[in-house]
A and B are shown apart, each in its own frame.
Chain A
């Protein structure tokens, strides 16, 4: 019918001006948490998703740039947490994956054991050494390919030489070997014939590491082995650059993760007895204000976050289901990076961005 069509056209125009209807906007923006499962968990990315409503969902860098915001919540040498608002899960997840497996670090790769009379077997000790985080800036080394000769450009050599003995007064010295016992051999391997690691520059790596911490473990207190009097360990550990994709020991993060920002909203006014009941159930989330009216507190406090699952359980009851809503913003990521200590977390995130851009760059060039 022509009249109906006209009506539809008019409606379409209205939407184009006002955006999506309320219920669709909510589904686009939030994951709605039900008592047993979450609803509307997917993100609607197709450009034509809302075309029938006259709403354009195509990529718009201007709108993305205007909507993006980042706020650092806490930051230290080793870990940071920040809010990433206005990004898409595809990009946030790419960054998380890169942080875990593609940002390079330096770790022990070859262990040459000269002597090991301790109770811990050579191969177990070698594996254990590989997992120790090192304070070597990966930018100072070139990656070492399988065919490359070890040299000052791609290898850092550490020595571990500890012998346990009993003093005349009965005290046992060196009965625990900790990661602080690594000595840096800046002139390269002491056993070049056996290790095939030869530094050509007689000055070794001194100049390259000038003004930087002496290469060794980030944490000096990691227990590597225990010895009894008469036992000793003597070995050389050769460290090279790698990524977590090959082995987790090269992962620069203990872990990196994100979660969506939780929100609790009131769907109608709640007051009186109902309000008191909810406030008693989850006092860090709900409060009762003037006139007995229920209000929602800041749910990002640790106390409130602990009670959020309790709020979810309240939704089992239909009477609360129509009064309160527990939901998560789909484009608000609370991103946490825990570094192993080799690089600061904010440096890691910047490197992850550079690696992602580089992937796109390389593909673009090849097409």
Chain B
């Protein structure tokens, strides 16, 4: 799904990388961009969809040098998962609270 741009070996040390994520769109890319921008170790993050009929997004990440770009994206993914899990828990509680509410 995600491929780093072709380059010399040692891609894991790159601090600036464009990830081409296939079969994804604004849904994932914009969420990741939000979490990446919120990361103090990320100097720049943006994404684009090069062509509307091609199902791919290019996610550009440039870090300040403390972490690699791939590590920054991994941590954004982890943040997103954590948020989804937490929202799910709070939502369940809200639904349970609504069902327990006496009917008006």
Contacts and interface: CB of A to CB of B under 8 A. Distances in A.
A71 interface: yes
A87 B79 CA distance: 13
Contacts of B88: 350, 353-354
Contacts of B35: 59
Nearest to B101: A72
Nearest to B45: A46
Interface SS majority for chain B: helix
B72 to A, nearest CB: 10
B2 A363 contact: yes
Interface in A52-104: 56-59, 61, 64-65, 68-72, 75, 82, 84, 87-88, 90-91, 93-94, 97-98, 102
A356 B73 contact: no
A38 B23 CA distance: 35
A354 B84 contact: yes
Interface string A34-62: 00000000000111100000001111010
Given A47-B42, A361-B81, A70 B94 contact: yes
A20 B74 CA distance: 31
Nearest to A93: B30
Contact of B90 (A59, A70, A90, A354): A70
Contacts of A48: 40
B33 A90 contact: yes
B79 A61 contact: yes
A360 B80 contact: yes
Contacts of A46: 37-38
B71 to A, nearest CB: 8
A72 B97 contact: yes
A364 B82 CA distance: 13
Contacts of B70: 367
A317 to B, nearest CB: 38
A349 B91 CA distance: 9
A23 interface: no
Given A90-B34, A98-B27, A349-B91, A59 B84 contact: no
Interface of A: 45-48, 56-59, 61, 64-65, 68-72, 75, 82, 84, 87-88, 90-91, 93-94, 97-98, 102, 346, 349-350, 353-354, 356-357, 359-364, 366-367
30 contacts: A45-B38, A57-B38, A58-B40, A59-B38, A59-B39, A61-B83, A61-B86, A64-B83, A64-B86, A68-B90, A69-B94, A72-B98, A82-B94, A91-B87, A93-B30, A94-B26, A94-B31, A97-B25, A346-B91, A350-B88, A353-B84, A353-B87, A357-B84, A359-B24, A359-B27, A363-B2, A363-B28, A363-B32, A366-B1, A367-B74
Closest 9 CB pairs of A and B: A90-B34, A59-B38, A72-B98, A364-B77, A357-B84, A70-B94, A360-B77, A360-B80, A47-B40
